[in-house]
Structure 1
Amino acid sequence: MALQKHLLNDPDTLVVDSLTGLCAVNNQLSFDPPNKVVYKSKLDRSKVALICGGGSGHEPSHAGFVGEGMLSAAVCGNVFASPNSSQVRRGIDLVENDAGTLILVKNYTGDILNFGLAAEQYAAEHAEKSNKVKFLVVGDDVAVGKTQGGIVGRRGLAGVVLVYKIAGALAAQGGTLDEVYSVAEWTAGRIGTIGVGLEHCHVPGTAPPSSHLSPTEIEIGLGIHNEAGNKRLTPVPPLTELIPLLIDYIASTTDAERGFLPFKNDGSDEVVLLVNNLGGMSELEIGGIVRAARDELHKRQIGVRRVLAGTRVSICPASPSLSFFSPRADDSTANAVKLLALLDAPAQTPGWKWNSAAPPITPTPLAPAATASTTSRSSAARIAAPQPAEFLAAMQRACAAIAAAEPEITRMDTIAGDGDCGLTLKAGAQGVEKAIKAGGITGTDLAADVVAVAKVAENEMGGTSGALYSIFFSALAQGLQSSANGATTVTPELWGSALSEALTKLYTYTRARPPSRTLVDPLAAFVEAFSSAGFAAAVKAAAAAAEHTKDVDAKAGRSAYVDTAVLRGEKVPDPGAWGVKTILEAL
């Protein structure tokens, strides 16, 4: 089986190479390569030290959280493999201090055994300091129910980072070992996390996993080492359906298997929301998940005290996880104030992303969009299509043709541009269809209809093509009005005059002139042939111009940045030009 693509020197040196790079990013760190221990260079040995660690492959966890205000050291194993006890013991020695050391590990057997063995060895050899090393296991995965987990308990996921942050901040402020351990233990007990797998993960340098999720399938509760999740869903649901399901896993009070957190669901609950990028998701998608989670929590009357987003604990595939931390004690809000202050305290580590240190703004409904005034249109003569029903049918044919052509136009644009042309045109077509259904395009007032199309291009399409279409149709509406001369029904002569005026105005905003391998090529061919040869001949001229873009060197547009030899070799026409051809032929 072929390997998936990764950029590295050698899988065997990847962890050391990565940790060396991290120390270049964060120059307050030192690195012990033989033991893969990253630690603070200037350690205040009068304060409690915090050590974490585990298998690599989950960056920035663990080493990305070593630094002022957070962790003192991280002991890293090979990818997805626990470090051995000798490595951990070296880490304990490197941060030895007068105040004591707290070892934090996620709930995985290898980590618990190797970190625990190192702690016991240290205590055995330093009897006078045996009470200066404490050990805490953190598990926050709610996908594993209480029955299934048995005595093993919950797996450790992204929520452990909140424990690092809160305990690390208290240690930096001079808290005692007992105080730091107590706050870490209390915090760990009030965190719940649920992950979503879009695909199974892959260890660099190894063959891809044999099990895969289908393109329309996701897995709820996927573990960070490819452990099976709780269930699979197909097709992939929209966030409005997925997020409520995920929140139920964490906050339900009726599911006896997952009542890990003390939710009351009576309007008094409050949480810190962490949307973790498990790896490969775009910031665009993460923002959408944040919005959906915040809105659903608001709907459930669960207060959101803080929102954190970004990569804290990763795996290879594009996947997210949701974590809730419930900071309020049952009997008082004093704990919440203290814990949130620790969460907000500065941390000089690359892994801890910025947060606002304040609750998010309460979501409010969007104000209704202002409707355009029709007063200015009432005094102008209305120019109708000779047969409005046929005009609308032609518009709908064009919209349907663009929707059908979207995959092919998208394919063209992945070669000749940035891959969005098909979807942009489809969005415009869908907007026009909505306008027709809503009565905004009727065929009885063509200037108003064309303005409506221009608005759709502006609002629904966006980008370069949206602006070009909007300018052209806005100018076309002006041309229809200025050339009407009292006509109440459009004629071919009136269309021809208006089209020529629109093309002239478009040229004032773009330098593209045919042949330029842009949508201007077929558009200009159509406009120039329309008045002299008629509609059918003009459409043929536009189609020929669109076909000809296969052989034209790009002089404008995104294709100008693509190697000409690639375009000629692929024999792919300009996708924007193909969109114009598709619309005109359907009309």
Structure 2
Amino acid sequence: MSAVQSKHFLNTPESLVIDSLEGLCALNPQLSLDAANKVVYLANRDPNKVALICGGGSGHEPAHAGYVGEGILTAAVCGSVFASPNASQVRRGIDLVENNKGVVIIVKNYTGDVLNFGLAKEQYAALHAEKSDRAKFVIVGDDVAVGKTQGKIVGRRGLAGTVLVYKIAGALANRGASLEEVHSVAQWVASRVGTIGVGLEHCHVPGTASGDSHLSSSEIEIGMGIHNEPGNRRLSPVPSLKELIPQLLEHLLSTSDPERSFLPFKGKNASEEEKDRVVLLVNNLGGTSELELGAIVKEATKGLESEGVIVERVIAGTFMTSLNMPGFSLTLLLLPSSNDTSSPTSSQILSLLDEPSNAPGWKWTSHAKPGVPIQSVAIAKEDEGNVKKVEEKLVAEDPAAFIDAVKRACKALVDEEPEITRMDNIAGDGDCGLTLKAGAIAVLKEVESGRISGDDVVGSAISVSRVAEEQMGGTSGALYSIFFSGLAQGLQLNKPSNSNIVTPLLWSKSIQSALTKLYTYTRARPPSRTLVDPLDAFVTSSSSSQGGEPDFEAAIKAASEAALNTRDLEAKAGRSAYVEGDRLRNERIPDPGAWGVKTILQAFGA
């Protein structure tokens, strides 16, 4: 894996935290900032409601200041990146939320946070003896990657489960509950959360030297902390989510591991009435895309259901990060069973979790159990029936050779994907190689199923058109789909009445009409630095013979030269039109789409 991403958008590393807090307050006018002490707090708050204070090192945004708002936190005290604020900062935070009911201080279980927030609490009590019983303390340690032996003295680290403690305790405080009630519920939630993190790489702290990769390109690390602390094991090669998620859930659900059985799950064998019920929090550690996060949610929900766990709520998004770490964490909040009279009820916990908040860090939630995707099988079958059946099939001159050529072209695209992707990372948006590879793999499946064969060339062209539309998508998928749809039409329109064999001359006429169809829907014309350049060269060269047999070998050569020549062309259309011109000239990168056409034609004609 390449070195850790170490570039950042900032004024200076030293000013980044305060700049960020000022930006947060500009975003949310209900907030105020004590800049000297880096305390964000609610400007207008009800003095008859319990206040909640949290905090810790910065770099975990939106935690902690992002949760200051009605229904969650009253104030957050922020340190430098990954460094606890000092006790005087925290004491200032307590003073700023002075009220008639008291304050609950919630911190993650890290030594600096516990010591500095604890010291501030004791100093506050010493200065205000009459209020000493009006400041309560909650420590959250939810990291199941830290075994009981390893954490015997220091305990487990605090991770994203802390956010659920904020939300539930904050909603209860907002309802006007007493200090004892808020503290008791916060303690209970803290005792029922477990979190496991996983990362592809560590993160980089602004202002520090650029680091080398901690993990190889084939490794993934389970149990990483949110301050670049190492995990408890590495896996190689990087597993699929279907392989990874069950391993993470085992850490959370285990009732037999003497080191990690932290939560009282009943397991698969529990009766229907006593089945484990949970809230699932899927948290982005900073560098994971929303696209990937959705897939993680799906697999985690599915994995819990397969373990007999009832998922009452799924919450997903960026809640507690490790700066720009490419990773995620799973948190489970184990809800109380129906016969547990010593705890809040499950409905109470869920109602507090569902209660709205205007804190910017809190994400949208459904307030309902996860849904089941609706499958549109009936529609798919109906559409399939709408494909027009060709009465008389057109056959390739050598059906076996035709299929071999199709397979060669597809395999060539798959092999060329890394190079096309490299080109497109410079000349476009980076997806051309993967798009063509996806199309090629789908075409090979059509060949295996018999829907593409040399005994039905028109049907094969229609199948390729459908694959391009459904499996490739985007601009290139549409262009390929239109071209092959036009090819299917051209084969039928130009077919001689006395033969059903697709001759070279019929191929030539048909691809000419296909190109004409394509030009109806795109303004790109050669030279344009697009896939049109080699495609036009191929079609034009193959049809240039004066009534004679088309020379496909010369046409392929012309297409190859046209694709190569795109490296020196000014981009007038397509993805490259948005790339700064000097960079394209300096790099001399051929157009990726044109290179894909060249790859197909060379392999097909080999």
Equivalent position amino acid for 2:437 in 1: K
Taking only aligned residues, the RMSD between alpha carbons, in angstroms, comes to 1.8
User: Which of 516, 526, 534 is the matching residue for 1:514?
Assistant: 526
| More divergent stretch after superposition (525-534 vs 514-523) | 525-534
Equivalent position amino acid for 1:551 in 2: D
Q: Does 1:469 align with 2:480?
A: yes
Q: Check conservation: 2:72, 2:167, Cα contact below 8 A.
A: yes
Residues 221-370 of structure 1: pairs in structure 2 closer than 5 A: 221-265=223-267, 266=270, 268-316=275-323, 317-329=325-337, 331-332=339-340, 335-362=345-372, 367=377, 369-370=380-381
Residues 385-424 of structure 1: pairs in structure 2 closer than 5 A: 385-424=396-435
SS at match of 2:14: helix
Q: Check conservation: 1:448, 1:477, Cα contact below 8 A.
A: yes
**% identical equivalent positions:** 62
SS at match of 1:393: helix
For the structure 1 residues 151 and 24, does the alpha-carbon distance in structure 2 shift closer, same or farther, using more than 3 Å as the test?
same
Partner of residue 167, structure 1: 169
- Structure 1 residue 98 displacement after superposition: 0.8
For the structure 1 residues 434 and 538, does the alpha-carbon distance in structure 2 shift closer, same or farther, using more than 3 Å as the test?
same
Q: Check conservation: 1:298, 1:363, Cα contact below 8 A.
A: no
Partner of residue 524, structure 1: 536
- Structure 1 residue 485 displacement after superposition: 2.7
Structure 2 segments unaligned to the other structure (5+ residues): none
Partner of residue 138, structure 2: 136
| More divergent stretch after superposition (106-115 vs 259-268) | 259-268
For the structure 1 residues 585 and 2, does the alpha-carbon distance in structure 2 shift closer, same or farther, using more than 3 Å as the test?
closer
Q: Check conservation: 1:163, 1:188, Cα contact below 8 A.
A: yes
- Structure 1 residue 211 displacement after superposition: 6.2
For the structure 1 residues 330 and 144, does the alpha-carbon distance in structure 2 shift closer, same or farther, using more than 3 Å as the test?
farther
- 1: CA distance between counterparts of 2:584 and 2:236? 38
- Structure 1 residue 362 displacement after superposition: 3.6
User: Which of 53, 61, 68 is the matching residue for 2:70?
Assistant: 68
- Structure 1 residue 313 displacement after superposition: 0.6
Partner of residue 490, structure 2: 479
SS at match of 2:394: coil
Q: 1:244-294: per-residue Cα shift (whole Å, max 9, x none)? A: 110110011221211111211236111111000011111111111111111
- 1: CA distance between counterparts of 2:579 and 2:4? 29
Structure 1 segments unaligned to the other structure (5+ residues): none
Q: 1:14-64: per-residue Cα shift (whole Å, max 9, x none)? A: 211111111111111111111111111112111100111111111111111
- 2: CA distance between counterparts of 1:366 and 1:144? 44
- 2: CA distance between counterparts of 1:547 and 1:325? 58
For the structure 1 residues 528 and 516, does the alpha-carbon distance in structure 2 shift closer, same or farther, using more than 3 Å as the test?
same
Equivalent residues, number: 586
- 1: CA distance between counterparts of 2:365 and 2:388? 49
- Structure 1 residue 407 displacement after superposition: 1.4
SS at match of 1:279: coil
Partner of residue 489, structure 1: 501
| More divergent stretch after superposition (170-179 vs 525-534) | 525-534
Q: Does 1:453 align with 2:449?
A: no
For the structure 1 residues 250 and 330, does the alpha-carbon distance in structure 2 shift closer, same or farther, using more than 3 Å as the test?
farther
Equivalent position amino acid for 2:129 in 1: A
- 2: CA distance between counterparts of 1:38 and 1:259? 37
- 2: CA distance between counterparts of 1:564 and 1:151? 61
Q: Check conservation: 1:200, 1:209, Cα contact below 8 A.
A: no
For the structure 1 residues 364 and 247, does the alpha-carbon distance in structure 2 shift closer, same or farther, using more than 3 Å as the test?
farther
- Structure 1 residue 127 displacement after superposition: 1.5
- Structure 1 residue 364 displacement after superposition: 6.6
For the structure 1 residues 156 and 37, does the alpha-carbon distance in structure 2 shift closer, same or farther, using more than 3 Å as the test?
same
Moved over 4 A (4+): 363-366
Q: Check conservation: 1:295, 1:363, Cα contact below 8 A.
A: no
Q: Check conservation: 2:142, 2:194, Cα contact below 8 A.
A: yes
Q: Check conservation: 1:2, 1:207, Cα contact below 8 A.
A: no
Q: 1:440-492: per-residue Cα shift (whole Å, max 9, x none)? A: 11100100011111111111111100000011001101111111133221111
For the structure 1 residues 233 and 60, does the alpha-carbon distance in structure 2 shift closer, same or farther, using more than 3 Å as the test?
same
Partner of residue 20, structure 1: 22
Equivalent position amino acid for 2:575 in 1: R
- Structure 1 residue 176 displacement after superposition: 0.1
Q: Does 1:583 align with 2:600?
A: yes
Equivalent position amino acid for 1:235 in 2: P
User: Which of 519, 535, 538 is the matching residue for 2:552?
Assistant: 535
- Structure 1 residue 375 displacement after superposition: 8.2
- Structure 1 residue 565 displacement after superposition: 2.3
- TM-score of the pair, normalised by structure 2: 0.94
- Structure 1 residue 168 displacement after superposition: 0.4
SS at match of 2:395: coil
Q: Check conservation: 1:271, 1:306, Cα contact below 8 A.
A: yes
- 2: CA distance between counterparts of 1:375 and 1:187? 57
User: Which of 192, 195, 204 is the matching residue for 1:193?
Assistant: 195
SS at match of 1:214: coil
For the structure 1 residues 376 and 423, does the alpha-carbon distance in structure 2 shift closer, same or farther, using more than 3 Å as the test?
closer
